[in-house]
Amino acid sequence: MLSFLEIRLVDVIDIIVSAYLMFVVYRMIRGTMAANIVLSILAFLVFWVVVRALNMNMLSAVFSSFVNIGLLALIVIFQQEIRNSLVMLSAKHTILKKFGIDKLVQKDDDKTDSQDFVTHLVVACENMSEGKTGALIVVQRSVGLNEYISTGEPINSQVSALLLETIFFKNTPLHDGAVIIDKLNILAASCILPVSKSTSIPKSFGLRHRSAMGISEVSDAVAIVVSEETGTITIFEGGEYVQIFSPSELKGYLERI
């Protein structure tokens, strides 16, 4: 048995990295059907280890064959989760964000435009919340959403509260679907988003909420949902959600991002 003095720095790093990777895998599969698959795989591996320890040659040979093709099978099974994780990783760790250069090069005019953008967004959400007008607004960030923008109707107009409220007004042609915003402009309306299959979403959430969760799982976009039934405002980011209870809270959240 190794004594404390025999534990190297490399061993400590090895443990930390392994624990981090396990946590990343857990975050990838949490609330999805993949969690059950992982448990089955772990049970299989435990059984395989026991078989080898008992020198059961025939079973060991059979299980070894499965293990040899296991990596390819895992890639096929978890291709969506792997893709989502790589997208989120690249979005969170760009060089500009890492060193804060994006904040240093931000101009005063850009800050003013951003403040106006937030104000229009808050006013629109507040009015639609009071009138119980259902809405789904997606703010694009570093990960492009062209494949979803192409499913909607091009708008290419500067963000304004009145325009957003008009788009989501009941029975208008563009009210059903998502509005996607980038660089302070409304790019498209009535866009189709991927629907999340997460089991952690409350049953009270409808299609808008599941679509907002879906786009937050496959990109670093922020999605804002105004419930048509209750008027509540919910923000989705990074596969998680938070309910907003006041315009000032929504304003603070948007200013942060």
Tokens of 41: 């795989």
Mean pLDDT value across residues 13-28: 77
The share of the chain scoring above pLDDT 70, in percent, equals: 73
- The CA dihedral of 203, 178, 169, 232, to the nearest 10 degrees, is 40
Query: Based on C-alpha coordinates, what's the Rg of the chain?
Result: 23
Structural contact between residues 63 and 48, judged by C-beta atoms closer than 8 angstroms:
yes
| Residue 232: DSSP 8-state | -
Per-residue confidence band for 29, with pLDDT thresholds at 50, 70 and 90 = low
Tokens of 94: 């760009």
How far is Cα 179 from Cα 140, in angstroms, rounded to an integer?
10
Per-residue model confidence as pLDDT tens digits over 33-91? 556 666 777 777 777 778 777 777 777 777 777 766 766 766 676 666 666 566 555 55
| Cα 59 from chain centre | 42
Closest CA to 201 of 238, 239, 232: 239
Please check the confidence at residue 149 and state whether its pLDDT lies above 90: yes
Per-residue confidence band for 142, with pLDDT thresholds at 50, 70 and 90 = confident
How far is Cα 152 from Cα 173, in angstroms, rounded to an integer?
11
How far is Cα 238 from Cα 80, in angstroms, rounded to an integer?
15
Phi, psi of 173 (to 5 degrees): -60, -30
Question: Residue type for 243, please?
Answer: Q
pLDDT for the residue numbered 111: 58
Domain ranges in the chain are 4-77, 101-256
Structural contact between residues 222 and 143, judged by C-beta atoms closer than 8 angstroms:
no
Give the domain 101-256 fold: YojJ-like (1 (3.40.1700)
Mean pLDDT value across residues 101-109: 49
pLDDT for the residue numbered 58: 79
